[in-house]
Amino acid sequence: MFNKWIEGLNRTRKVAFGRLATLFGATDISAETWDELEAILIQADLGVETTESILAVLQDLVNREGLTHTDELQSSLRAELIRRLDAAPAVDFDSHKPTIVLVVGVNGSGKTTTIAKLGRQYAMQGKKVLLAAADTYRAAAVDQLQVWGERLNIPVIAGQPEGDPGAVAFDAVQAALSRKMDIVLIDTAGRLHTRYNLMEELKKVYRVVGKALPGAPHATWLVLDATTGQNALQQARAFKETAQVSGVILAKLDSSAKGGMAFAIQKELGLPILYAGLGERPEDLQPFDREAFVDGILGLKN
């Protein structure tokens, strides 16, 4: 399992953290050490504030413990990075039946493919899964989810092209109730966070689901494209306000050199990262493991 994280985080590690091996040699800690470490962390997309905060903690540690060599910093950096990520909460599908999950994100984030991968995982756990193709404005998204459904033998509720996404979501919840399904994953249209009318429509879908089943949706997960780095934060803030996002899925982490954005998401949004996409295969969507993530970007093996 650790190899999957090492392989999936290869680009972030090589592009952003690759210089750490040289930095953490047997040389003395100097002003140049801190300048280099600052550049590495910012390049990895941790953000300026998070980077400065980490440096302050490490510098305080060096002063208190009298550390003099750079190789003594490695374990301290690892511990500080892990501390800044929340452990992913367990995904609970037993409190509600069916559990309704709204999946949101912008076009191109990998949202529809992620939904299919989640559906496969839950079905393999013995759950009865239903997918809802409520991205009615993009015919390709509906087709894509239906193809996945056929391939995985998971039922899909879809509406007419350019139809009312709220109606599809409502029908999916009703179908799940009548068929006694365990989980409903609703694929919503890929909203641009700058388009007010589309974000308002997402609010409507959220309300309609609540009318179909009081208390639903029970979770709203935001799929973010890890290759966009810090730019994804603005999207995330808008979705958090609009759809009460409760967790984040980092898609395409294997294609990104900006894996450090995970730390910015935690600091800026306070949202847990639930899953990470470490490759193209369905099994490459992994529950987020903060220790494996940090060891993966640092290239450490425990």
68 marked ligand binding residue: no
143 marked ligand binding residue: no
**Which pLDDT does position 193 carry in this prediction?**
53
112 marked ligand binding residue: yes
111 marked ligand binding residue: yes
**Which pLDDT does position 56 carry in this prediction?**
97
190 marked ligand binding residue: yes
Instruction: Please state the pTM of the whole predicted model.
Output: 0.92
Measure the CA–CA gap between 292 and 299, rounded to whole angstroms: 10
188 marked ligand binding residue: yes
**Which pLDDT does position 171 carry in this prediction?**
97
Measure the CA–CA gap between 253 and 153, rounded to whole angstroms: 27
Structure tokens at 49: 């504030």
Per-position b or e across 53-76, b if 16+ CB within 10 A of its CB: bbbebbeebbeeeebeebebbeeb
Structure tokens at 106: 């912008």
Measure the CA–CA gap between 20 and 259, rounded to whole angstroms: 15
Task: Kindly give the parts of the chain with pLDDT less than 50.
Answer: none
CA angle (117 as vertex; 240, 288 as ends), nearest 5: 60
191 marked ligand binding residue: yes
109 marked ligand binding residue: yes
**Which of 154, 183, 8, 160 lies closest to 95 in space, CA to CA?**
183
**Which pLDDT does position 250 carry in this prediction?**
95
296 marked ligand binding residue: no
203 marked ligand binding residue: no
105 marked ligand binding residue: yes
18 marked ligand binding residue: no
Q: What is the pLDDT of residues 166-180, one digit of tens each?
A: 999 999 999 999 999
**Which pLDDT does position 2 carry in this prediction?**
61
70 marked ligand binding residue: no
Q: Which amino acid is at 74?
A: Q
